[in-house]
Structure 1
Amino acid sequence: MADQDQNQANQNNNQEPSFGLQRTYIKDVSLEMPNAPQIFLEQEGPTVEVSINVGGQRLAETIFESTVTATVTTRVEDKVLYLIEATQAGIFEAANIPAEQLDPLLGIVCPTMLYPYLRANVADLINRTSLPPLHLTEVNFQNLYEQRLQQLAEQQGQPARQDSGIVLPPGVTRQ
C-alpha cells in the first residue's frame, strides 16, 4: 500500500509544471570598427542605434534554446564608429507547461532572464574598444512580445490579442 501511494505521489510530481535555466552562453558576437583609427580624431559626439531581437527553438521535448540578439551601431556623422552584434543564448527546461503558456514563457520570461548577461557582454566589448562606455537600457520583453503578436495578427488580417496569454494562478494580479 505504501509503494502504491509513493508511485502515485511520484506521478503527481511528474505532472507538476517545472521551468529552469540550464545554461547561458554567448552564441555569436561581433565587434567591428571599420573606420579606426581615423574615426578617433572626430570631435563630434556619436549617435547610437540599438535593435533587440528574440528567437528560440525546441531542442528536445522539454528543452528549449532562447536567444536575445542586440545590434548596436554607433556613428559619428555618417561614419560607423563601431558595430556590435551579440547573441546571448540560454538552454531552458520547461516541462508540463500548458500549451497556451509555453510561447509567452519562451518569448517573455526566457529573454528577460538572458538580457542581463547580454548587457554585460556588450558593455565589456565596448569597454575593450577604449571608447566611452555604453550601457543598454532595460527592455520590457512583455511589450515586445505583445507587439510581435499584434504585427503577426495584422499580417494575417486577424484582430490582435489583448493579453500575453500567460495564465496567472488565482489571487495573483498583473502589474
Structure 2
Amino acid sequence: MAEENTTDGAAPAQPAQPQLRMQVLAQFIRDMSFENMVAKKGVTSGDVQPDIQVAVSLDARKRPADHQYDVISKYRCTSKNKTNGETLFLLEVEYGAIFHVEGVPEEQLHPFLLIECPRLIFPFVRRIISDVTRDGGFPPLNIDTVDFVTLYRQELARRAQAAQAQPTVN
C-alpha cells in the first residue's frame, strides 16, 4: 500500500535548496592559428615520428548580465619530429562559451566554472582540433580527454607556490 504525503506538520520542513541551473548560451572560436611547418619548409624525406604535446589553460570571467560567465579554454598542440626535433605543426585554439549559471554557492562557483563548464564544451573543441589537423594535411589529432579537476588543482598549487615566493613588504 502506498504512503500518502500529508501536511499535518509531523515532519519538520526542510529549507529549499537552490536549484542548480546551467545553460550554454553561445559557443565560439575566439582565436585560432594553425602552422604547417612541413608545408612551409617543403616536404623532406626521412623518418617522421611525431611527438605531440598538448597544453591546456582556462579562464573564466563574469559578464555584465546577471548569472552569466565567459569561459575560455586554450589549447596549444605542438607536433615535433622525434628523430630531429623539428616542429611539424603548431595549432593554437581559444574556444569559448557563454554560460548562464544559477544556484551554485559562491565558494563553489570558481571551481564549477573552471571544471564543469570546460568539461561540457570539450567535445566541441576536440572535434575542431581533429578537423583542423586533418584539413592541414596530417592525420586527425584526437586529443585525450582532459582531467579538468587535476588541471584546476595544479593551478591552485601553482598560485599558492607563487604567493609564497612573493616577498612580503613591511
Tell me what 2:68 maps to: 63
Kindly tell me: are residues 16 and 133 of structure 1, through their superposed partners in 2, closer, same or farther at Cα, counting changes over 3 Å? closer
Q: Which has the larger radius of gyration?
A: 2
Kindly tell me: are residues 43 and 31 of structure 1, through their superposed partners in 2, closer, same or farther at Cα, counting changes over 3 Å? same
Tell me what 2:137 maps to: 130
One-letter amino acid of the structure 2 residue matched with residue 21 of structure 1: V
Question: Which of the residues 39, 45, 48 maps onto 1:44?
Answer: 48
Per-residue Cα deviation, 1:98-154 (whole angstroms, up to 9, x for no partner): 111110111100111111111100000011022222210011101111111122222
Tell me what 1:113 maps to: 120
Shift of 1:35: 3.8
In 1, distance between residues paired with 2:25 and 2:19? 18
In 1, distance between residues paired with 2:31 and 2:153? 26
Q: State TM-score, norm by structure 1.
A: 0.75
One-letter amino acid of the structure 2 residue matched with residue 65 of structure 1: D
Matched residue SS, 2:57 = strand
Kindly tell me: are residues 151 and 75 of structure 1, through their superposed partners in 2, closer, same or farther at Cα, counting changes over 3 Å? same
Tell me what 1:32 maps to: 35
Kindly tell me: are residues 130 and 40 of structure 1, through their superposed partners in 2, closer, same or farther at Cα, counting changes over 3 Å? farther
Matched residue SS, 1:157 = helix
Aligned residues: 146
Tell me what 1:22 maps to: 25
One-letter amino acid of the structure 1 residue matched with residue 131 of structure 2: D
Matched residue SS, 1:41 = coil
Per-residue Cα deviation, 1:33-69 (whole angstroms, up to 9, x for no partner): 1342524534221111110111121112311010111
In 1, distance between residues paired with 2:99 and 2:145? 22
4+ residue runs over 6 A deviation:
none
In 2, distance between residues paired with 1:114 and 1:147? 21
Identity of aligned residues (%): 24
Shift of 1:155: 2.2
In 1, distance between residues paired with 2:22 and 2:141? 33
One-letter amino acid of the structure 1 residue matched with residue 33 of structure 2: S
Provide structure 2 residue ranges, at least 5 long, that are not aligned to the other structure. Answer: 1-15, 166-170
Tell me what 1:54 maps to: 58
Shift of 1:157: 3.0
- Alignment partner of 1:89 is 2:96: yes
Q: State TM-score, norm by structure 2.
A: 0.77
